[in-house]
């Protein structure tokens, strides 16, 4: 792999990616040939100083769709982010919760205590794929939980809900570098508040289950936290940091798409196809600490979870 000086005043794309090291040189050669043929030659290909497994590509041009297609064709499975400006540690990190910061979908697991997990999980899957309106699907699923004892939530948290690998280290390290961390979920405060405390998020935004006399009513309290609210939360936090704020967002489903699209680094984590397509980054290979590597934060600067 060769590196060349990168000079000139023109649009620039920078891609950082992690892929199979054993075949990386061959993959770079093949990707370089494909990009040359498409009129977007690689100007520089180097391994990062702090992370010898992270490849950085620099290319003149602005065709992100082409670059991501080539990365997918020649490096999959990979973890990657494509940017238009030099990488910086973000000022704001906003993340989805279910199947992103934790390994489960809370409402599906809670439904198991009511004996209806398959029915609710099928609706969840279609909503995350973008096949159903999120708010309608949420209200339908919550309605099916009417009369479930509120105590089932605590049992579900204790017995089923587990942070995703790398979640604590990611959040703690970003905070140590001055980044504001926000958990925003289409799920419920009953779950999100303890999860945020466990992982280390500073702010939580989510939906509220209605409870009466120790049982779920099948309704919600207040406005719905869906795709518009997630994007609004990101933009609100960015505005507090000024015009040059850099943001990182992670999510996996269709209701994360506006948030991912609005972020400087919108990273789809083991995501549904529509969410992955809307993002300029993705994690398909490693755990959440891959983001720290892609941001070139040395491991000795990571905060132990």
Q: How many CB atoms neighbour CB 56 within 10 A? A: 18
Residue by residue, DSSP assigns 36-84 as HHTT---SEEEE-SS-TTEEEEEEES--HHHHHHHHHHHH-S-EEEEES
First to last CA, the chain: 36
Distance CA 247, CA 190 (A): 27
Residue 210: both structure tokens together:
């209605």
Residue 196: both structure tokens together:
């945020």
- The three-state secondary structure class of 172 is helix
Measure CA 92 to chain center: 13
Catalytic residue among 98, 108, 256, 284: 98
20 assigned to active site? no
Distance CA 216, CA 53 (A): 49
Distance CA 214, CA 151 (A): 8
Would you say 101 and 199 are in contact if contact means Cβ atoms under 8 Å apart? yes
Catalytic residue among 20, 29, 49, 96: 96
Which residues, in sequence order, are bridge partners of residue 221?
A: 208
Q: How many CB atoms neighbour CB 118 within 10 A? A: 10
Beta-sheet strands, E only, within the chain:
12-18, 44-47, 54-60, 79-83, 92-95, 180-188, 203-212, 215-221, 247-251, 265-269, 281-283
- What is the set of active-site residues? 96, 98
């Amino acid at each position: 792999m060769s590196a060349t000086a990168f000079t000139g005043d023109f649009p620039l794309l920078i891609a950082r990616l992690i892929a199979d090291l054993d075949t990386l040189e061959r993959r770079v050669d093949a990707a370089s040939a494909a990009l040359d043929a498409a009129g977007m030659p690689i100007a520089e290909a180097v391994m990062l100083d702090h992370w010898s497994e992270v490849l950085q590509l620099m290319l003149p041009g602005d065709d992100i769709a082409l670059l991501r297609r080539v990365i997918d064709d020649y490096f999959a499975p990979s973890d990657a982010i494509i940017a238009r400006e030099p990488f910086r540690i973000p000022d704001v990190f906003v993340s989805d919760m279910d199947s992103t910061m934790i390994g489960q979908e809370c409402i599906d697991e809670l439904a198991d205590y009511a004996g209806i997990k398959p029915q609710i999980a099928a609706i969840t899957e279609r909503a995350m794929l973008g096949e159903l309106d999120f708010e309608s699907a949420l209200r339908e699923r919550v309605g099916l939980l009417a009369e479930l004892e509120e105590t089932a939530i605590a049992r579900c948290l204790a017995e089923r809900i587990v942070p995703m690998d790398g979640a604590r280290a990611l959040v703690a390290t970003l905070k140590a570098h001055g980044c504001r961390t926000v958990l925003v979920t289409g799920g419920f405060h009953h779950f999100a508040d303890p999860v945020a405390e466990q992982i280390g998020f500073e702010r939580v935004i989510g939906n509220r289950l209605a409870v009466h006399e120790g049982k779920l009513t099948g309704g919600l309290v207040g406005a719905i936290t869906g795709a518009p609210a997630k994007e609004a939360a990101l933009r609100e936090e960015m505005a507090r940091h000024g015009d040059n704020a850099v943001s990182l967002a992670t999510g996996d489903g269709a209701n994360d798409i506006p948030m991912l699209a609005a972020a400087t680094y919108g990273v789809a984590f083991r995501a549904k196809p529509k969410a992955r397509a809307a993002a300029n980054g993705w994690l398909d290979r490693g755990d959440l600490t891959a983001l720290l590597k892609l941001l070139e934060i040395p491991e000795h600067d990571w905060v132990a979870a």
